[in-house]
Amino acid sequence: MRIVFMGTPEFAVPSLQALLSSGHEVVGVVTQPDKPKGRGQTITSPAVKMVAEKAGTPLLQPLKIKTPEFLNALTAWKPDLIAVTAFGRILPAPILQLPPRGCINVHGSLLPKYRGAAPVQWAVINGERETGITTMLMDEGMDTGPMLMQEKLMIASDDTGGTVASRLAEVGGRLLVETIRQWEAGTLTARQQDDSGATMAPPLKKEDGVIDWTTSAQALTNRVRGLSPWPGAYTFHERERWNIWKAAYSHNDVRDEPGTIVSVTKHSLEVATGHGTLEIVEIQTANSKRMLIDQFLAGHRIIPGVRLGVGST
Segment 42-49 shows an average pLDDT of 96
Same domain, 248 and 227: yes
| Enclosing domain of residue 214 | 206-297
Same domain, 193 and 213: no
- Residue 211 C-alpha from the chain's centroid: 19
Same domain, 291 and 175: no
Segment 138-146 shows an average pLDDT of 97
Q: Which of 35-39, 270-274, 302-306 has the lowest mean pLDDT?
A: 35-39
Is 103 within the bounds of a domain? yes
Same domain, 60 and 183: yes
Residue-level pLDDT at 38: 78
Task: Give the tens place of pLDDT for each residue, 178-200.
Answer: 999 999 999 999 999 999 999 99
Segment 27-55 shows an average pLDDT of 94
Same domain, 26 and 171: yes
Same domain, 98 and 191: yes
The answer on pLDDT for 312 being more than 60 is no
The answer on pLDDT for 21 being more than 80 is yes
Same domain, 89 and 35: yes
Residue-level pLDDT at 310: 60
Same domain, 192 and 238: no
Same domain, 42 and 94: yes
Same domain, 224 and 149: no
Residue-level pLDDT at 313: 41
How many other C-beta atoms can be found within 10 angstroms of the C-beta atom of residue 2? Answer: 15
Task: Give the tens place of pLDDT for each residue, 240-262.
Answer: 999 999 999 999 989 999 999 99
Domain boundary among 176, 197, 218: 197
3-state helix, strand, coil in the chain (%, to 5): 30, 30, 45
Number of domains into which the chain is organized? 2
Is 303 within the bounds of a domain? no
Task: Give the tens place of pLDDT for each residue, 154-180.
Answer: 999 999 999 999 999 999 999 999 999
The CATH number of the domain holding residue 292 is 3.10.25.10
Distances in whole angstroms, Cα of residue 7 to Cα of each of 20, 104, 227, 231, 306: 14, 12, 22, 21, 46
Same domain, 50 and 175: yes
